[in-house]
Chains A and B, each alone.
Chain A
């Protein structure tokens, strides 16, 4: 059963992204919200780590949080608004928020 993992902490000051990456299974998804979208900062080790994820892992980011932080989504990232966020939660079997 595929899991949508949701993160909101900055990966520059918090270990949740690292812990989450180790637990991802094939078909899982990763949704970056809030400060977790800083993981897409160009030239960062965090973005490099995301690039190393297998292609079977889908990567999403919440549109408003990218806009707020002036972060441009790399090609691999699917940008979602709230209606798409809701549908994502329905698509995956469960949602794991790293609180």
Chain B
């Protein structure tokens, strides 16, 4: 059976190629039909804020790639309640939709995966 991989992304979307390169790992794994999940933690939850614009900072739109995750078979998407709450995002509509987990649930989530990459 294929080993499962949890990718924990802590990168804000406009802080350099880090967020995109974390996403690329997920998309590549999804393309190979591997069991991949993504967890947005700390500043990584800023990627989920709707209405962001890539053009003013001359970047490619990360949102399109995030939306593509389920198309690549990566539909297990999670975010940290605490990270969202700290950043005033807990009660906002976010995109793509994620399952929000408290700290205890995050610990349990980590235990479920064979491998983990935190970026």
**A interface list, Cβ under 8 A from B:** 1, 3, 15, 19, 22-25, 93-99
Report B94-119 residues with CB < 8 Å from chain A CB. 103, 106-108, 110-119
Q: Is the CB of A23 within 8 A of B111?
A: no
In the complex, which residue of chain A has the Cβ closest to the Cβ of B5? A94
Docked complex Cα distance between A99 and B113 (Å) = 18
Given the complex, which residues of A lie within 8 Å of B42, measured CB to CB? 15, 19
With A1-B111, A3-B111, A15-B42 as known contacts, state yes or no: A23 contacts B116, CB within 8 Å. no
Q: Is the CB of A25 within 8 A of B107?
A: yes
Given the complex, which residues of A lie within 8 Å of B20, measured CB to CB? none
- Which of these, A1, A3, A19, A93, contacts B10 with CB under 8 Å? A19
Docked complex Cα distance between A15 and B11 (Å) = 12
Docked complex Cα distance between A57 and B113 (Å) = 19
With A15-B42, A19-B42 as known contacts, state yes or no: A3 contacts B110, CB within 8 Å. yes
Interface size grouping (class) on chain B: 10 to 19
Given the complex, which residues of B lie within 8 Å of A15, measured CB to CB? 42
**B interface list, Cβ under 8 A from A:** 8, 10, 41-42, 82, 103, 106-108, 110-119
Docked complex Cα distance between A97 and B111 (Å) = 15
Q: Is the CB of A97 within 8 A of B107?
A: no
Q: Is the CB of B115 within 8 A of A94?
A: yes
Docked complex Cα distance between A8 and B111 (Å) = 22
In the complex, which residue of chain B has the Cβ closest to the Cβ of A3? B110
Docked complex Cα distance between A22 and B73 (Å) = 29
In the complex, which residue of chain A has the Cβ closest to the Cβ of B6? A96
Q: Is the CB of A23 within 8 A of B103?
A: yes
Given the complex, which residues of A lie within 8 Å of B112, measured CB to CB? 1
Given the complex, which residues of B lie within 8 Å of A94, measured CB to CB? 113-116
A78 CB, min distance to chain B CBs, angstroms: 22
Q: Is the CB of B103 within 8 A of A25?
A: no
Given the complex, which residues of B lie within 8 Å of A24, measured CB to CB? 107
